[in-house]
Amino acid sequence: MATSILDLSTQKALEGADSDDLRLIEGLRSGAAQAYEELLARFQQPVYALALRLLDDPSESADVVQEVFLKVFRSIGAFRGQSSLKTWIYRITVNEAHNSRRWFFRHRRKEVELDSEPQEARNWKELIPDGRLSPFDAAFEREQHVMIETALAKLSPIFREAVVLRDITDMSYEEIAEVLGVSLGTVKSRILRGREALRAELAGTLQDRPAPRLVPKTAE
Amino acid sequence: MSCENEQERISLLVDGKLPDDERENVLAHTGMCRECGTQLASLQMQRAILRKMAQTAVPDVVAARLIVLASHERERQLARASVRERMRRLVAKVELSFQNMMRPVALPVTGGVFSTLLLFGMMMPSLNFAHQTGGYDFSTAPQGSIVVSPWNLGADDDTADVPVFASRIDTKSDYVNIVNLTIDESGRVADWSVVRGQLTDEMKDIIMFSRFEPATTFGLPTSGIIQVRQGLPPCKYTSCSATVRG
A121-131: pLDDT as tens digits: 556 666 665 55
Instruction: Tell me the mean pLDDT in the region A157-179.
Output: 89
Contacts of residue B11, defined as CB under 8 A and 6 or more positions apart, other chains included, come to A188, A191, A192, A195, B43
φ and ψ of B228, to 5 deg: -110, 125
Q: Which residue of B has its CA nearest to A36?
A: B70
Of the partner residues B8, B65, B77, the one whose CB lies closest to the CB of residue A192: B8
Cβ(A181)–Cβ(A161) below 8 Å: no
Cβ(B200)–Cβ(B224) below 8 Å: no
Contact A145 B49 (CB under 8 A): yes
Of the partner residues B8, B54, B65, the one whose CB lies closest to the CB of residue A49: B54
Taking the C-alpha atoms of residue B163 and residue B151, their distance in angstroms, rounded to an integer, is: 10
Q: What is the CA radius of gyration of chain B?
A: 55
Please report the pLDDT score of residue A141 as a whole number: 76
Q: Which of B160, B153, B159, B141 is nearest to B244 (CA)?
A: B141
Q: Which residue of B has its CA nearest to A39?
A: B70
Query: Is the dihedral angle over the CA atoms B154, B157, B158, B162 positive or is it negative?
Result: positive
Contact A145 B11 (CB under 8 A): no
Taking the C-alpha atoms of residue B113 and residue A54, their distance in angstroms, rounded to an integer, is: 64
Contact A44 B73 (CB under 8 A): no
Cβ(B205)–Cβ(B236) below 8 Å: no
Taking the C-alpha atoms of residue B13 and residue A93, their distance in angstroms, rounded to an integer, is: 28
3-class state of residue A124 by DSSP: helix
Residue ranges of E strands in B38-155: 139-140, 146-148
How far off is chain B from A131, nearest CA to CA, in Å?
16
3-class state of residue B224 by DSSP: strand
| Residue pairs spanning A and B at CB distance below 8 A | 110
pLDDT at A11 over 70: no
Mean pLDDT of chain A: 78
Please report the pLDDT score of residue A43 as a whole number: 92
Instruction: Tell me the mean pLDDT in the region A166-172.
Output: 88
Contact B60 A123 (CB under 8 A): yes
Cβ(A168)–Cβ(B51) below 8 Å: yes
The DSSP call for residue B218 is T
Instruction: Tell me the mean pLDDT in the region A46-68.
Output: 90
Question: CA–CA distance from A118 to each of A57, A113, A123, B208, B244 (Å)?
Answer: 10, 10, 11, 104, 89
φ and ψ of A140, to 5 deg: -65, -45
Contact B70 A74 (CB under 8 A): no
Q: Which of B41, B6, B12, B50 is nearest to A155 (CA)?
A: B50
Q: Which of B231, B232, B192 is nearest to B212 (CA)?
A: B192
Residue type, B108: P
Q: Which of B54, B15, B12 is nearest to A54 (CA)?
A: B54
For residue A64, the cross-strand partners are: none
For residue B179, the cross-strand partners are: B194, B228
Distance of CA B32 to the CA centre of its chain: 94
The ipTM (two decimal places) reads: 0.70
Please report the pLDDT score of residue B221 as a whole number: 85
Distance between first and last Cα of chain B: 127
Give the residue with greater pLDDT, A187 vs B200: A187
Contact B54 A195 (CB under 8 A): no
Taking the C-alpha atoms of residue B58 and residue A122, their distance in angstroms, rounded to an integer, is: 11
Of the partner residues B42, B65, B77, the one whose CB lies closest to the CB of residue A199: B42
Taking the C-alpha atoms of residue B123 and residue B120, their distance in angstroms, rounded to an integer, is: 5
Please report the pLDDT score of residue A115 as a whole number: 56
Please report the pLDDT score of residue A5 as a whole number: 37
**Interface mutation target, options B35, B46, B65, chain A, most CBs of A under 10 Å:** B46
Please report the pLDDT score of residue B135 as a whole number: 52
3-state secondary structure labels for all residues of B8-39 = HHHHHHHCCCCCHHHHHHHHHHHHHCHHHHHH
3-class state of residue A212 by DSSP: coil
Contact B11 A48 (CB under 8 A): no
Instruction: Tell me the mean pLDDT in the region A172-201.
Output: 90
Taking the C-alpha atoms of residue A163 and residue B45, their distance in angstroms, rounded to an integer, is: 14
Residue B224: CB atoms within 10 Å: 28
Of the partner residues A40, A44, A168, the one whose CB lies closest to the CB of residue B51: A168
3-class state of residue B194 by DSSP: strand
Distance between first and last Cα of chain A: 93
Of the partner residues A73, A144, A191, the one whose CB lies closest to the CB of residue B70: A73
Q: What is the pLDDT along chain B (246 residues), one digit of tens a residue?
A: 567 778 888 888 888 888 888 888 888 888 888 888 888 888 888 888 888 887 788 899 999 999 999 998 888 888 777 788 788 888 988 999 998 888 888 888 889 999 999 999 988 877 766 555 455 555 666 665 555 555 444 444 444 444 545 445 555 666 777 888 888 888 888 898 888 888 888 788 888 888 888 887 777 888 888 887 776 554 444 444 444 443
Instruction: Tell me the mean pLDDT in the region A190-201.
Output: 89
> Quick one: angle between helices A184-208 and B3-14, nearest 10?
100
The DSSP call for residue B180 is E
Please report the pLDDT score of residue B223 as a whole number: 85
